[in-house]
Amino acid sequence: MSHGSNTDFVLAVEGLTVSFDGFRAVDDLSFYVDDSEIRVIIGPNGAGKTTVLDLICGRTRATAGSVRFRNRELTQLREHDIVRAGVGRKFQTPSIYDDLTVFENLEICYPRGRGVFGSLFFRRDQAVIDKVREVAATVLLTERLEEPAALLSHGQKQWLEIGMLLIQDPQLLMLDEPVAGMSITERRQTADLLRRISQGRSVIVIEHDMDFVAEIADRVTVLHQGRILAEGSAEAVKQDPQVIDVYLGH
């Protein structure tokens, strides 16, 4: 394995390992994500899916291995520097600010005035308002901008959080179960949304719903006990006997 070599991939994960008290939650994992690709990670509970996202975005520190984003090593950077490098992360449960309005939720994520004094003297100018409106339109929340985010439905909260990432214009977007708890209609709208926003950026999605996976995935990576069990198109992965054995069931 050639650690540190330059690649054309947006994201190159190589030999990534993390152990918690001797338990290897992620074990010598390597995978590569292309530009404008939607990659879906599936696997049984405890396979290490969320941990992989945590490792990429710096929430958990790797024991070994490398994560390179556009050939920049991320494993030593602090979380906010990883974000500023262009990696956005959505959490499994919607993490939004209930007490603030939808507008303010989006505005906080606008990538300007991120220092203490920058934010103290941040001006809400037309560029900010326009950008917030544009993103709100993308995530179907134009009508709700002035309301407190607490009043949104569960699905809308998920979209708001995706919008909060979009406004940062990340080159890599990582979404942990974005359609969990959504209605059928909302799932379809979310699939549309993901296809629209993957133009010009890469997306990594953790998902359980195989129909949804088939609908959105360019490639699927199957994790099992911290290792890659299979990788390929959704169709190919579905046919893989090992995957059927440990995850999909007969």
Q: Which is nearer to another protein, 49 or 157 (CB)?
A: 157
Q: Which residue stretch of 3-11, 26-34, 81-89, 183-191 sits at the interface with another protein (rule: CB under 8 A)?
A: 81-89
Which span (14-22, 39-47, 66-74, 116-124) binds another protein, by CB under 8 A? 116-124
Please say which residue, 124 or 195, places its beta carbon nearer to another protein: 124
Of 69, 103, 212, 247, which lies in the binding site for another protein, with binding defined by CB under 8 A? 103
Is residue 32 near another protein by the rule CB under 8 A? no
Within 10 A of 137 (CB to CB), how many other CB atoms are there? 11
Q: How far is CA 182 from CA 158, 168, 186, 193, 245, in A?
A: 9, 24, 6, 14, 28
Per-position x/- string for 133-172, each x denoting binding to another protein as judged by CB under 8 A, each - no binding: ------------xx-x------------x--x---x----
Asked if 107 interacts with another protein (CB under 8 A), we say yes
Tokens of 233: 């198109």
191 counts as binding another protein under rule CB under 8 A: no
CA distance linking residue 118 with residue 130, whole number of Å? 20
| Cα(81)–Cα(112) distance, integer angstroms | 14
Cα pseudo-dihedral 197, 40, 15, 19, rounded to 10: 110
From CA 75, how far away is CA 82, in angstroms rounded? 9
End-to-end alpha carbon distance in the chain: 35
User: Contact positions toward another protein, by CB under 8 A?
Assistant: 57, 59, 78-80, 83-84, 88-89, 91, 95-101, 103-105, 107-109, 111, 113-116, 119-122, 124, 129, 132, 145-146, 148, 161, 164, 168
